[in-house]
Amino acid sequence: MIRFDKFTLKSQEALQAAQTHAQEKSNPQLVPEHLLWALIQQKDGVVLPVLQKLGANIQVLATELSAAVANCTLYAGEDPEDVANFFDFANSLGIEGVMMSPGYSYQHAPRQDVFLGRRKSKELFREIFKIGKKRGSKWHFNQSSMFIDFLAGNQSYQCTPWANPTYNVFGWQKPCYLLVDEGYATSFKDLIENTDWDKYGVGRNPKCDNCMAHCGYEGTAVEHTISSPLTALNVFLFGPRLDGEMAPDSE
């Protein structure tokens, strides 16, 4: 297990700066892009001169890194028109893609009334996508078309938390970065082999019942894409279905 106090001072500063950058961007998890952004801000560090010697355009790189971590987490009371306006604005800035997800109902959050249930989440995304379709908007999402179809209520998916594992200074987090009280594994092998995966998911664990987050369902969507490429291609070309009955929740 990594110990933060064993890092060099510069590494500790970079990690702290990356965490702050992620929080300022309202990103729910720390990813390599945040850390690279923090490292190139260190004028007296070792990463910046190496990149400069390689001919990297640091200003462009910093801008692209900031764009690459754009995130949109939606909560109760969101106006679909406002969200659609944000997606249009993100496109106008040249952002490569936005990662969107309903807010996960953390049990330790001081307020629980801000979180969406699964039905409300699907209804919200359908309304947002309808606005985009009416406008002819070409939004860029950093997610698969089948995950977007899932958000629109057209797929019955079960969570696949091992598809997007979280590794941080404490170890491998069980079963995903959203559940903070389940403990840590000492190695990836320990995580995969000794985590009781059947305890987690919709209908299996009350903590998971309202979750539609990308960290659990993107992996399921990608697996579906591989097994049903024509279905995925249809959604990619024509977008998700935005009316009619929604798919039941998986159990």
pLDDT, tens only, 116-128:
889 999 999 999 9
pLDDT, tens digit (0-9, with 9 covering 90-100), for 210-232: 899 988 899 899 999 989 999 99
For CA atoms 130, 90, 229, 147, give the dihedral sign. Answer: negative
Confidence (pLDDT) at 34: 78
Total H helices, total E strands in the chain = 10, 5
Q: What predicted TM-score, i.e. pTM, was given to this entire model?
A: 0.75
Beta bridge partners, 108, equal none
Confidence (pLDDT) at 69: 58
Q: Taking the domains of the chain in order of start, what are their residue ranges?
A: 1-69, 70-238
CA separation, residue 129 to residues 2, 8, 77 (Å):
42, 47, 17
**Is residue 150 within a helix (H) or strand (E), and if so which, with residue range?**
helix 145-151
Please tell me the distance from the alpha carbon of residue 133 to that of residue 137, in angstroms, as a whole number.
6
Intervals of the chain under pLDDT 70: 1-6, 25-32, 67-69, 251
Residue closest to 152 by CA, chosen among 69, 77, 238: 238
Q: Evaluate whether 125 touches 103 at the Cβ level (below 8 Å).
A: no
Please tell me the distance from the alpha carbon of residue 184 to that of residue 172, in angstroms, as a whole number.
5
Q: Evaluate whether 98 touches 139 at the Cβ level (below 8 Å).
A: yes
Confidence (pLDDT) at 1: 40
Question: 92: which 2 tokens?
Answer: 């106008």
Question: 196: which 2 tokens?
Answer: 């009781």
The strands making up 184-185's β-sheet, listed across from edge to edge, are 166-168, 171-173, 184-185
Confidence (pLDDT) at 72: 87
